[in-house]
């Protein structure tokens, strides 16, 4: 009985051990093949993650370096942009200051010349249109008024140089004496630039180059004073009683004349083949040192096919306003046009166009009237 009682617990304990052992073995048994692939894939992914951990860290360093490198140009660009903005602000401030300055009235405006009426409603305070051959006056407006003539002065400068028959290939050097200390005008001919007399004459007449004109007078035999004296003597010989020159560029407002006198000068200068060629030249290049400088004519009408200009010259300083003289063939006639003290940058050209159309219409009307 006792043995039987003992056998039962032993059996139960053994059975429990067997169950536990079976459970352990079941836990340790390999999973089915179908489940092995995901496990392997997961393990591979984990391994790949571990393998890529170091490159990822390295990539982060590279990225930080790349960001730093990208930041450097960005900072440089920001500095450059800031400088550009400051420069723009300075320019805007300068433009605002210039705009705020009151416009300086010309001598003609101060004298009330612009209040004079004319049939063409010209913007020029002074005008004279005449037939060069017959001296018939076709249009006049304040033609006796004596005013500053700006760079129209250079037409007399060119006439004196041309009539002197000096060697045009002689080299002349621009010096500090040729710098404009009165108006502070700009010039691309730096001190030390070496050009021939012919090139200086070309630039003075075509592009109204002030240093070129001054150098021509300064290097003239006898010096600048003699040159200016010859300008005044030639004016008197042409009957220009209202004219006075004090220097060869026209920068001084003391250089003065009238439309009547300037018409006489245009008539004389138009007889000079060299002056006709240089004043109507559309453009010209000069070599200065190692640079090639391109110059253009200050009168755009020389490129206009509707115009047949034999000689021309423009001029401007604030005291004189915009000025223009021309000799041109209009309606079969040699016409001299003098426009002084024109208000507005392009108004003298617009006035010239009004004159041309008016002369051509007058010619057409007279032709029709004279037809049988």
What does the pLDDT read at residue 366?
76
User: How many CA atoms, within 13 angstroms, populate the side-chain half-sphere of residue 235?
Assistant: 25
User: CB within 8 A of 217, min separation 6: which ones?
Assistant: 157, 224, 227, 228, 247, 248
**Percent of the chain's residues with pLDDT above 90:** 68
- Strand ranges inside 47-164, DSSP E: 124-131, 137-141, 147-148
User: CB within 8 A of 226, min separation 6: which ones?
Assistant: 220
Of 43-57, 122-136, 205-219, the range with the lowest mean pLDDT is 43-57
DSSP, collapsed to helix, strand or coil, labels residue 168 as coil
DSSP, collapsed to helix, strand or coil, labels residue 356 as helix
Report if pTM > 0.75: no
Taking only the tens place, the pLDDT of each residue in 11-46 is: 343 454 444 444 444 444 454 444 444 444 444 444
Task: Using the predicted structure, report yes or no on whether residue 48 has a pLDDT greater than 70.
Answer: no
CATH of the domain spanning 107-370:
3.40.710.10
Radius of gyration of the chain (CA): 46
What does the pLDDT read at residue 14?
43
Active site residues: 151, 154, 208
What does the pLDDT read at residue 278?
98
Taking only the tens place, the pLDDT of each residue in 282-305 is: 999 999 999 999 999 999 999 999
Tokens of 280: 């109507």
DSSP, collapsed to helix, strand or coil, labels residue 132 as coil
Tokens of 249: 């560029």
DSSP, collapsed to helix, strand or coil, labels residue 335 as strand
Query: What's the rounded Cα separation, in Å, for the pair 220 and 274?
Result: 18
- Count of CB atoms within 10 A of residue 264's CB? 18
Q: Please indicate whether residue 264 or residue 76 has the higher confidence score (pLDDT).
A: 264
Average pLDDT of the chain, as a whole number: 83
Query: What's the rounded Cα separation, in Å, for the pair 266 and 328?
Result: 11
CA 320 from centroid of its chain's CA atoms: 23
Tokens of 150: 């700006």
Closest CA to 321 of 130, 98, 151: 151
């Amino acid at each position: 009985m006792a043995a039987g009682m003992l056998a039962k617990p032993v059996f139960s304990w053994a059975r429990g051990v067997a169950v536990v052992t079976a459970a352990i073995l079941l836990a340790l048994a390999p999973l089915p093949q179908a489940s092995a692939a995901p496990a392997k894939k997961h393990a591979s992914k984990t391994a790949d993650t571990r393998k890529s951990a170091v490159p990822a860290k390295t990539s982060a360093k590279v990225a930080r370096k790349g960001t730093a490198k990208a930041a450097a140009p960005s900072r440089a660009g920001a500095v450059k942009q800031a400088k550009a903005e400051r420069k723009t602000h300075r320019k805007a401030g300068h433009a605002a200051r210039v705009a705020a300055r009151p416009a300086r009235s010309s001598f003609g405006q101060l004298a009330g010349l612009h209040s004079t009426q004319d049939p063409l409603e010209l913007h020029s305070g002074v005008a004279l249109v005449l037939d060069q051959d017959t001296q018939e006056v076709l249009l006049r407006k304040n033609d006796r008024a004596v005013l500053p003539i700006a760079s129209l002065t250079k037409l007399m400068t060119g006439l004196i140089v041309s009539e002197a028959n000096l060697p045009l290939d002689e080299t002349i050097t621009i010096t500090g004496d040729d710098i404009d200390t009165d108006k502070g005008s700009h010039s691309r001919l730096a001190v030390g630039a070496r050009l021939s007399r012919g090139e200086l004459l070309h630039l003075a007449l075509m592009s109204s180059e002030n240093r070129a004109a001054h150098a021509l007078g300064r290097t003239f035999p006898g010096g600048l004073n003699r040159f200016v004296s010859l300008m005044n003597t030639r004016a008197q010989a042409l009957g220009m009683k209202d004219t006075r020159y004090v220097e060869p560029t026209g920068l001084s407002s003391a250089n003065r004349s009238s439309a009547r006198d300037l018409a006489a000068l245009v008539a004389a200068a138009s007889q000079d083949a060299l002056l006709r060629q240089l004043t109507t030249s559309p453009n010209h290049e000069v070599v200065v040192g190692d640079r090639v400088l391109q110059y253009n004519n200050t009168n755009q009408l020389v490129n206009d096919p509707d115009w047949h200009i034999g000689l021309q010259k423009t001029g401007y300083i604030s005291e004189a306003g915009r000025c223009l003289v021309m000799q041109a063939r209009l309606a079969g006639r040699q016409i001299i046009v003098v426009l002084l003290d024109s208000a507005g940058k392009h108004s003298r050209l617009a006035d010239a166009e009004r004159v041309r159309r008016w002369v051509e219409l007058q010619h057409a009307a007279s032709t029709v009237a004279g037809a049988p």
